[in-house]
Structure 1
Amino acid sequence: MTIVSSRRQTRPRSALALISLACLTLGAQAQDQAPETLQRVEVTGSHIKRLDSEGTTPVQVLRREDIARLGASTVQQLLSSLAGSTAALADNNNYYGNTEAPGASAVSLRYFGKQSTLVLLNFRRVAAFPLADFNEIFVNIDALPMDAIERVEILKTGGSALYGSDAVAGVINIITRKDFQGLSLKGNWGQTSSKGRFGDGTLSVGAGVGDLARDGFNVLSNLEYYKRELVQGWRHLLDEVNPQYRQVATGLGALSARSYPGNVNGQAVPGCETIVNKRCMSDPIEGGLIMPSSTRLNWLSTGTLRLNKDVDAFAELSLSRNQTEYLGDALTYSSSWGTWTWGDPSTDLPKSFTYRGLPAGHPLNPSNKEASFQYLFADSQPFHHVDAKQYRALGGLRGTWSGYDFELAAGALGGHAQRSQRQVFSDKGFVEVIGDYNAATLDASFFNKPGGYRIGQLNSPEVLAKLFPTFGYEGQTRQLFVDGRLSGELTQLPAGPLSFAAGFDVRRDSFTMTPTANLRTGELLGSGVSSADAARNFGAAFAELNVPLLKNLNLELAGRADKFQHFDAHFSPKVALRYQPTQQLLLRGTVETGFRAPNLAESADSNKYSWATGISDPRRCPAAQELADALEAQGQTQRADSVRAAECNTGIPKVTRNNPALKPETSLSATFGLVFEPFRGSRVALDWWRIQRKGEIGIKGLGDLLNEEGGLEPGLLLRGSLAQDPTFNAQEQAQYGVKVGHLKRVITQFGNQSRTQTSGLDVLARSEVALPQLGRFTLDLDGMVLLSQRYWNLERKGWGDNLVGRYGYSRLSLGLGAALQSGDWNNALRLSYRGGQSLQGDFYDSLWSVEGCADLKLSADQCQVKAYQRLDYHLAWSGFKNLELGLHVGNVLNRRPPVDFKQFGAYWGVVPQNLEDVMGRTFRISASYRFF
């Protein structure tokens, strides 16, 4: 919390009351500062400029020096340190998260997801990442320059009444440096104490010329380069893994028979390097991806030109390029895997791939029948590369007119991303270079075609390109905007000035995501496909009033009307009160609504195709069971199995389409809090909050759709003709009451169908005292107590369990920092804490209940994630003119994160996905030099 102004504040910023009182007992005294004139400035949460450091809504502020003490080298690392920040998306681990938007990071507040936290740059929106994560379109915070940040303001409540769509859980406003003069160079590099290194670093150059007040202009430019090393191969890190995981995963690190050059009938193929019990073995974790490499180049330039004493012209340009490389695992093959089924989006027909062995007559098969075969395609050369470019350019005028402050701006923002990978078989290519796997008797040339793929031999790039073709997506976003606002005092009331702000916002959005041709035709084994091509216009008008009811009581009213093309206008109101009975105590409260408009992947032209398996048709499965039982009684076991599989365990194409009839997600939020300043230099803020969101956009499960078939719109569920029924003949249809044809395809649409309810308590505190002969001592506390977290369950038609203390929902999260500025030295400690959790999710999660854990051979102690604690240390020295050196030690005590058997996968045994488990203590060195 802070007083944000263009000049030095007249008093320190916030408080940790109890600790500060203890400091007083020890004789510490806060230093008085000479009073200076403050300018009214805009603070996130209100368009009305003010002097007060605390408004009606809670706003957390991270200053430049606060950010430095965190030791973060990226915006993602910075924002993930917030107590209210909850898991969203990080580009350094989302390869294993099965995201459809790799190469990007996102932020989420209060568990509401990356689409319900609005991210601003200098009070304006940032371009969306050009690839959607299924239906989620979000801001990629990796495209924001770290070193250009002056401060970050976090609005801890909804902001739709001021900022419009997406500001449901809060607003994060990243504010860059202004009026900087000189030339500076800054760099940092960090790595861990483990064998993996996990190195990353940043090099940035900042330059600024002109003093706005003296010269009438200022131009500032910041260029930042970020590099993260690739980390691969769990084998060399296996001894760094917490040994507790071995208690439940005895196969951790075991060798695999899916090897190179393979096994035929359980015997090693000649040329194998590692043979165990006559079988050729490979190390499946030798070269696997642990952390992807990344290179980023972010450039931000701002300029201001004073046209006259009342008006300034301003411009801003930002460009970014992020390249992320995810190295996939080499493809494996086993003839015991049976048949894999998927669909062809171009025909809606099923496709299947059957893993076959080596035929009789193959050089590696000495038997006279098809032999089992296990193999590692060591030459498959898998890769997954994402190249994303984003931009934002704007310009405008700001100043005063007839005593009112105004600002007008126009601009363009957008981005382009290319996602390309090679990871799976081409069905067509497999037949061409290996052979026809559907033949009842394999041809002797299977896996031995002239000019085709040869086992354990050097294969040409042309053959490999046919067998493992490149595929992916191209995404693009664009937005044009014009906005403006006016603010000032309307009149003077007995208790003070009646202040207002009003403005407008007009935009044009477009989003396209285009798959490669081999995805559109279902050529790739097991693949689905997504596409989008949509655009829309929208406009908004907003207004805000600050009404002084009494000298120490203010009423704040705000409202915003947003009109999106094809949707009714949506109005978001806000009512807030600020009451300050004494200089030391402030009471505040808000009630407001929020909303998230359906994005272009949900409401406009988009299509997602996949193949759903294990489907039981409720209108035909009971009849199929009866028929199968009768067939078994007649000895027709094979047909009986076929009938059951066709109607009770089948696969069908599943198409998820946009829904033009969607309505916005809406929310109702309330806060009530107090800010207490026991003495000068100390402040503590406690704010209770509650948010309920309804009409959440999602899709129904196939089971629900099939059960509701009679009430669905025509065309959403396609059935075949009874006259051409593949399961029941005409006599059987009559005998067993079959009146509808077999399932051929189901179309799902996004709908407003769920709700979320959450509440909690935020604690923000700061204390600054001067310690004689030591320097300035600062204590900071950022904490969140989660009181309730519930999700609506469609099947139950009611709320699920309160998930506080369940998996993923800690009751208490906090960061406690202490810093001592003494001459040229700055020392800081920070404790991060997150409360423990059980492994169980909501009421339906029986697998990870206490009983479920027992079935998995986990004890009650293992069926929980214990509390997380981490201590970091930061040291900075500025003993030479214009030079500052820094050292940040993360996880000083070298403590492991708590064991998480659910994330680890106790019942199948894989390497841990929490990389902190093998990182250990981290070190980051930094240096900055200002040339002039």
Structure 2
Amino acid sequence: MIPTFLRSSCALAVMLAVTPNVYAEQELERIEVTGTHIKRTDMEGASPMSVLTAEDIAKTGAQDISQLLSKLPESGSGTFSTQGNNADDTANGGAAVSLRGLGADSTLVLLNGRRIAVSSFAKSIDTAFVDINSIPISAVKRIDIVKDGASATYGSDAIAGVINIILKKDFEGFEVNGKLAETVEDGGGQQAASMLFGTKSDDGKSHTTVIVDYFKERETLFADRDYSKSADQSANGGSDFRSSSGNPGSYIPATVGSDGSITPKSDQYSWTPDVNCPADLTKGPYCRYDYAPLMTSVPETTRVGLSVFQDYQFNDDLKFFAELMYQHNDSVIKGAASPSFGEFYMLADNPLFASGAAVNPFPGEDLTMRRRITETGQRQKSAESNSARMVLGLNGMLAEWEWELAYTYSYNRNHEYGEQGFVWSPRLQEAINTGTFNPLATTQNPGVIDQITVNTVRNGKSTTQAFDGKIVGDLFDMPAGSVGMAVGFEHRKEELSDTPDELFKRGEIFGTEATEAAGSRDQTSVFVEFAVPVLESLEAQLAARYENYSDFGNTTNPKVALRYTPLDNLTLRASWGKAFRAPSLVQLGLGATQESPGLVDTTRCPLTGLEEDCTAQERTVIFSGNPNLQPEESTSYNLGGVWAITDDLSVGVDYWNYDQEGLITSDTQYLLDNQGNNPDVVKREPSSTAVPGRIIEIYDQFANLGSQNTDGVDFDIKYQLQTQGMGDFNFSYHLTWVNTFDQVRADGTKRELAGEYQHPEYRWTTGADWSIADWRTSARLNYIGEYMGDVDAGATKKIDAFTTLDMNVSYIGLEKWTLTLGANNILNADPSFSETSFMGYDQATHSAIGALWYGKVGYRF
């Protein structure tokens, strides 16, 4: 049921809309500002907001939107780009941003003020996100970043804030751009091109904009960097992360049931490496395998897109508008050959033993093995993403009230093809049983390899259909001005499917990460917003939004914000609001999915002291969704202001605070720590002693676990300096300081994350721009502060701060031409060392691209 105050507001708005307005028109033109439905006379509102114009974006030298947004100081843990994906990921080719480190699924991404379908492949199994790689940077007019909770205005997912990407719908003229970039290290390199065309009809009633873009990036392997070319990081002060599944392999006696179940005889024996395992690969009970040099750091990527924007003015009171966009992305991701961790066996009477072609290391015993199937080649996936979006709408005036109605259809279709290195488990076991595949040998019959190798297919589709409308105008006059009001609605239907092939669903493919999920929901919302001029110097924003979801119920979220200007050059602001995030369709409808995180067996470790129990090792986790999830809820507030000390110097300070309840997550290590002896949670090998058997599988699912709270300060300085004869200078400094970031589990135990792994306390950028005559130069220094390594994985040291310098220079002295030369990370700084990462650095926080030099040519008329 819709709350009474919202029903009353809607009725009042409709009544006023059809009544002639007798109030005078505003002298200043009002503009659309992200974070409010009511047009304003300036961009500075009651909520803290950053604005990146097309000129600002060009100065950063960013190659795409993911690279641009990942450098924002307010971005945090959960931000990822295509650089962060690999063969074991479940969202290869995608990218997303996480404001305040609250997660990519807690940052609402809009395109021209409306929603986009989420990626049909979730990131790392659980995170629903809008793939910002589906938006070409060449088409961007500006990006508005609202840095407080905004569910009262936009609904779900706006817990941390809103990123509204506004495109060049009103472009005039013709522009062609070409760009070439090369790294100074091995691998990498990019090519990009775009064409923009915009024109008005002769009668001025219609306008058309067409944008075509192209982007290509060559792959970078971990082998292309000295610090990541081996998973054995012991020489650098880290650990040996080489896999325990090698070729030759390691073996242990086992009991094989009639149903093919395998139980290692761990009480009587230990794993034994193959006698032919090279000495440099033999460590402890295993024959190791160095997978790092074969894995993708930055995937080979190609993107092609077309955008068309059209509007037609029927008369002064009615306009039609349309947005049509299509983006096609391809990526190729490489990984090491498929590993087995005890999934296969050799019976004691295997014909290979009988014929003497193989020697049983444990005579008379059945065997299981850890073995890398290198004979099938390294794994390779091809990821294809197609995104399309259509918006059709009408905008007009009814008396002095502006109204708008629109229909949006958006989809993301993903296809992932396992092209090489994937093994069909039943056929491999059959080949072992018949003696045609010899696990104790390193060479095999090519015909047998063809029989056990299979190509995999995974298909996903995500769609969002929405019908929305609003009406905006002045309600009545107060002494300080008119009270503005906006009231509207949205009806949205979301559907998602993520379907791997039948072999994966039957559990017959090993060595791959994939998910299976399906779900749909309907959502209906109504909202109301008021802009109230309390005093000539004090303005209040009052907003509320009611949402009804078909899968979990209702929620109402209010917001109050104040903007106070006691002096012409001083603006103070404060905001408070409620926000929420509906559980994603993946979190609700994820099927049983296998993952292999690094976990410590804290049940066995105190009893055995063994490395395999006391250090993070890959464990098989069977993970699933939870249809009983409830939404996350958040309360946020902001206090700050902007002081224009002079016409050329301004300082901004904002304190922000987020308190999030009902966090939808999982904590498998915590589950293992507390329920390690629960057979319903942890399946173990049989044991005849007081020491529990080794872990076989762990069963986990999403839940509303605990809460998290974070607060901090944003600090901004801008200074302009105009000189006589030496050109004009612009200086800027933007700092985000995270004071606290605490996660509280359901039992009340707390983890303090500020300054811990992937949560640096300080991030800042500083810029200097200089223009003189026909020359334009820009420099950006990007800083990520130090933070502690991953203590859960055994880290004892901090990860050092990471600083990069970006620079470019442009010449505009040629008519219609712009020439640019620049470099990102011009000093080729290596990412800071991480002792618990196999590649030697924290890939989720730092970049290994190194120095990237680029040249750009633009022509416009």
1:692 aligns with 2:639: no
SS at match of 1:901: coil
Contact 1:240/1:918 (8 A) holds in 2? no
Partner of residue 134, structure 2: 143
- The equivalent position to 1:890 in structure 2, one of 810, 821, 824, is 824
Which of 782, 807, 810 is the matching residue for 2:757? 807
| Contact 1:380-1:468 at 8 Å conserved across structures | no
1:71 corresponds, among 61, 76, 80, to 61
Residue number in structure 2 paired with 1:785: 737
Q: Which amino acid aligns with 1:427?
A: S
Take 1:612 and 1:839, find their aligned partners in 2: how far apart are those partners? 21
Offset at residue 472 of structure 1 (A): 4.0
- The SS at the match of 2:662 is strand
Deviation at 1:616, TM superposition (A): 10
CA–CA separation in structure 1 for the residues paired with 2:621 and 2:825: 49
CA distance in 1, matches of 2:347, 2:164: 53
User: For each residue in 1:813-844, what CA deviation from the matched residue of structure 2 results, as whole angstroms up to 9, or x when unmatched?
Assistant: 11111101212110111111122222255xxx
2:317 aligned with 1:310, yes or no? yes
Q: In 2 relative to 1, CA 39–117 (structure 1 residues): closer, same or farther, beyond 3 Å? A: same
Paired AA for residue 666 in structure 1: E
Residue pairs, 1:454-493, within 5 angstroms: 456=443, 459-460=446-447, 463-493=448-478
Question: Is the 8 Å Cα contact of residues 358 and 447 (structure 1) preserved in structure 2?
Answer: no
> In structure 1, what is the equivalent of residue 518 of structure 2?
533
Measured against aligned partners, the alpha-carbon deviations of 1:261-297 in whole angstroms (never above 9, x if no partner) come to xxx974599xxxx9xxxxx999866644332101111
Is the Cα contact below 8 Å between 1:159 and 1:170 reproduced in 2?
yes
CA offsets per residue over residues 433-453 of structure 1, 9 Å max, x none? x322xxxxxx665539xxxx9
Q: 1:529 to 1:75 in 2, by over 3 A?
A: closer
Q: Within 5 Å, which residues of 2 pair with 1:301-700?
A: 301-331=308-338, 340-341=342-343, 353=345, 359-360=352-353, 377-380=374-377, 382-421=379-418, 422-432=420-430, 434-436=431-433, 445-447=436-438, 456=443, 459-460=446-447, 463-525=448-510, 530-603=515-588, 605-610=589-594, 654=622, 656-659=624-627, 661-699=628-666
In the superposition, the TM-score normalised over structure 1's length comes to: 0.76
Partner of 2:108: 118
Amino acid at match of 1:303: Q
Give, in whole Å, the separation in 1 of the partners of 2:354 and 2:218.
48
The structural deviation recorded for 1:526 is 6.3
Tell me the amino acid that sits aligned with residue 873 of structure 1.
M
For 1:505 and 1:239, locate their aligned partners in 2 and report how far apart those are by CA, in whole Å: 49
Q: 1:189: how far off?
A: 1.8
8 Å CA contact 1:607, 1:658 repeated in 2 = no
| Aligned counterpart for 2:780 among listed residues 806, 830, 855 | 830
Aligned to 1:547, what secondary structure does the other structure show? strand
Shift of residue 612 of structure 1? 9.3
Cα offset, 1:202, TM superposition = 1.4
When residues 43 and 354 of structure 1 are mapped into structure 2, their CA distance, relative to the original with a 3 A threshold, is farther
| 1:241-252 alignment runs, 5 A limit | 246-248=235-237
Deviations 1:781-802 (A, max 9, x none): 221111111000335x14333x
- 2-structure distance, mates of 1:509, 1:420: 25
| Partner residue, 1:4 | none
**What is the distance in 1 between the residues matched to 2:790 and 2:476?**
58
Contact 1:476/1:513 (CA < 8 Å) preserved in 2?
Answer: yes
**What is the CA–CA distance in structure 1 between the aligned matches of 2:354 and 2:489, rounded to whole Å?**
77
Q: Which amino acid is the alignment partner of residue 329 of structure 1?
A: A
567-576 vs 359-368, which moves further:
359-368
The secondary structure found in structure 2 opposite 1:880 is: coil
Cα distance in 1 for partners of 2:162, 2:241 equals 43
Would the alpha carbon gap of residues 530 and 608 (structure 1) be closer, same or farther in structure 2, given more than 3 Å must change?
farther
Cα distance in 2 between the residues matched to 1:319 and 1:503: 28
**Counterparts of 2:85 and 2:762, CA distance in 1:** 29
CA distance in 1, matches of 2:347, 2:714: 56
Residues 526-572 of structure 1, C-alpha deviations (whole Å, 9 max, x = no match): 66763222211111111111111111111210111111113322111
Share of identical aligned residues, percent?
Answer: 26
Residues 1:879 and 1:671: Cα distance change in structure 2 (over 3 Å)? same
Cα distance, 1:586–1:353 mapped onto 2, change above 3 Å: farther
**For 2:171 and 2:847, how far apart are their aligned partners in 1?**
41
Q: Secondary structure of 2:533's match? A: strand
Q: CA deviation at 1:429?
A: 1.6
* Alpha-carbon distance in 2 for matches of 1:588, 1:673: 5
What is the distance in 2 between the residues matched to 1:891 and 1:612? 34
Q: Do 1:181 and 1:211's aligned partners in 2 also have CA atoms closer than 8 Å?
A: no
SS in 2 for 1:161: helix
Name the counterpart of 1:635.
none
Contact 1:60 1:764 in 2 (8 A): no
Corresponding residue for residue 880 of structure 1 = 814
Q: What is the letter of the counterpart of residue 340 of structure 1?
A: G
Q: Kindly provide the CA deviation profile for residues 746-790 of structure 1, in whole angstroms up to 9, marking residues without a partner as x.
A: 975533222110001112332233221122211122211111110
Q: CA deviation at 1:511?
A: 0.8
Please tell me whether the aligned partners of residues 359 and 369 of structure 1 are also in contact (alpha carbons under 8 angstroms): no
Q: Go from structure 1 to structure 2 and tell me whether the alpha carbon gap of 1:556 and 1:247 turns closer, same or farther (over 3 Å shift).
A: closer
The two structures, once aligned, show a CA RMSD in angstroms of: 4.3
Q: Is the 8 A contact 2:87 2:295 kept in 1?
A: no
1:216 aligns with 2:205: yes
CA drift at 1:126: 1.0
What do the CA deviations read for 1:46-84 (whole angstroms, capped 9, x no partner)? 111011231101110011111001111111011112110
Q: What CA distance in whole angstroms lies between the structure 2 residues aligned with 1:570 and 1:829?
A: 46
Query: Structure 1 residue 43 and structure 2 residue 33: aligned?
Result: yes
- In structure 2, do the counterparts of structure 1 residues 411 and 727 end up closer, same or farther at CA, with 3 Å as the change threshold? closer
8 Å contact from structure 2 (residues 231, 242) kept in 1: no
Q: Post-superposition shift, 1:682?
A: 3.0
Q: In the alignment, is the contact (CA less than 8 A) between 2:831 and 2:841 conserved in 1? A: no
Q: Distance in 2 between matches of 1:281 and 1:902?
A: 18
Q: CA deviation at 1:241?
A: 9.8
The code of the aligned residue for 1:690 comes to: N
User: Which region of structure 1 is more displaced relative to structure 2, 677-686 or 49-58?
Assistant: 677-686
CA distance in 1, matches of 2:725, 2:321: 46
Name the residue aligned to 1:227.
216
Distance 1:554 1:923 in 2: 48
Whole-angstrom CA distance in 2 between matches of 1:578 and 1:915: 35
* Structure 2 partner of 1:637: none
Return the alpha-carbon distance in structure 1 between the equivalents of residues 293 and 459 of structure 2. 32
Asked whether the equivalents of residues 340 and 354 of structure 1 are also in contact (C-alpha less than 8 Å), the reply is no
Give 1:922 deviation, angstroms: 2.0
Q: Structure 1: give runs of 5+ residues left out of the alignment.
A: 1-35, 275-279, 334-338, 342-351, 437-442, 626-644, 721-725, 730-735, 737-742, 854-862
Report the Cα offset of residue 804 of structure 1: 2.4
Q: Contact 1:358–1:446 at 8 Å: present in 2 too?
A: no
Who is 2:771 aligned against? Answer: 821
SS at match of 1:359: helix
Whole-angstrom distance in 1 between the partners of 2:574 and 2:29: 26
Deviations 1:5-34 (A, max 9, x none): xxxxxxxxxxxxxxxxxxxxxxxxxxxxxx
With over 3 angstroms needed to count, the CA separation of the structure-2 counterparts of 1:915 and 1:360, relative to structure 1, is farther
Contact map agreement 2:86 2:92 (CA 8 A) in 1: no
Query: Alignment partner of 1:668: what SS?
Result: strand
Equivalent residue runs for 1:742-761 within 5 Å = 749-761=701-713
Question: Equivalent residue for 2:23?
Answer: none
Aligned length: 781
In the alignment, the residues of structure 1 paired with residue 629 and residue 156 of structure 2 have an alpha-carbon distance, to the nearest angstrom, of 15
Cα drift, residue 576 of structure 1: 1.1
